[in-house]
Amino acid sequence: MGVTTRPWIVDDDLWALIDPLLPPWPERSPGPRPVPDRLCLQGILYVLHQDIAWQLLPPELGFGSGQTCWRRLDRWQQTGVFHQLHRILLAKLNSAGELDWSRACLDGPRPREKGGAATGPSSVDRRKTGSKHHLICDGKGTPLKVLTTAANVNDITQTLALVDGIPPVAGRPGHPRRRPGALLGDEGYDSRAVRCELRKRRIVPVISRKGAPNIQGLGKLRYVVEQTFALLHQFKRLAVRWERRPELHDTFLSLACSLICWRRLKRNHS
């Protein structure tokens, strides 16, 4: 799905990947005929891009009501549709040689306001609660895994969860890949225990040490993770967390990661 004036429109190629992942609708379900899945998905994408309340979803666009789209999102979340889509697109990028496994970068930006579960005191304003995202991407900035935690959770505690959360990525001969050659991080990830655990996983830690000069050239290599965060937060629904249920927010995150992967795949094949 390329960047257009209507980015919530699902093109045929992307729909061909998503449609087989959706759970079938009961043939004899009571009530009126349900809104088609493709239109509901476009309504969900509209909310993801525009960050409007579900009840304000424009009915004239044919997406059905906001409640219909929300229920469909909840149903798809339960079956992990967008987590599966993210893995499929990572495999396609890997098959095309578009993933850089030589290194991975991780970071956690400033807290996002609002939220429900998985929230904590904001490091910016302790009177408010919020959430924050933790991201690991490959050497080219392709998102591999994103986690949501309370705003007061230390970045370093999520290092191994991010590394171990990278899904097995197929697309190349041999076993699916899920470990980068090296992990790049700033001094906020400096920990002897974490370094030892990374080495056990055959990952070289390239992490700045507190109180020591920064590793030369590390900032330039890690810049891709900042770019990826900027891409994620272009989806306005992710810039501020409104979903009180963390699993729905994480579903939006997986959908956004999938769209970033899809755009890169389309760009490289155009």
- Write down the domain spans for the chain: 12-78, 105-241
The CATH number of 105-241 is: 3.30.420
State pLDDT tens for residues 62-108. Answer: 888 889 999 999 999 999 999 999 999 999 999 999 999 999 999 87
The residue assigned the tokens 């302790």 is 126
Burial status of residue 152 (CB atoms within 10 A of its CB: 0-12, 13-18, 19 or more): middle
- Confirm whether pTM is higher than 0.85: yes
State pLDDT tens for residues 117-138. Answer: 545 454 444 445 678 899 999 9
The residue assigned the tokens 């041999």 is 174
Q: Judge contact between 170 and 94, C-beta under 8 A.
A: yes
**Alpha-carbon Rg for the chain in angstroms:** 19
Alpha helices (runs of H) in 101-234, residue ranges in sequence order: 159-165, 192-200, 218-232
Per-residue pLDDT of the chain (270 residues; tens, 9 = 90+): 444 578 889 999 999 999 999 998 777 666 566 889 999 999 999 999 999 999 999 888 888 888 999 999 999 999 999 999 999 999 999 999 999 999 999 987 655 555 555 454 544 444 456 788 999 999 999 999 999 988 888 888 999 999 999 999 999 988 999 999 999 988 888 899 999 999 999 999 988 887 666 666 676 778 889 999 999 989 999 987 778 788 999 999 999 999 999 999 998 776
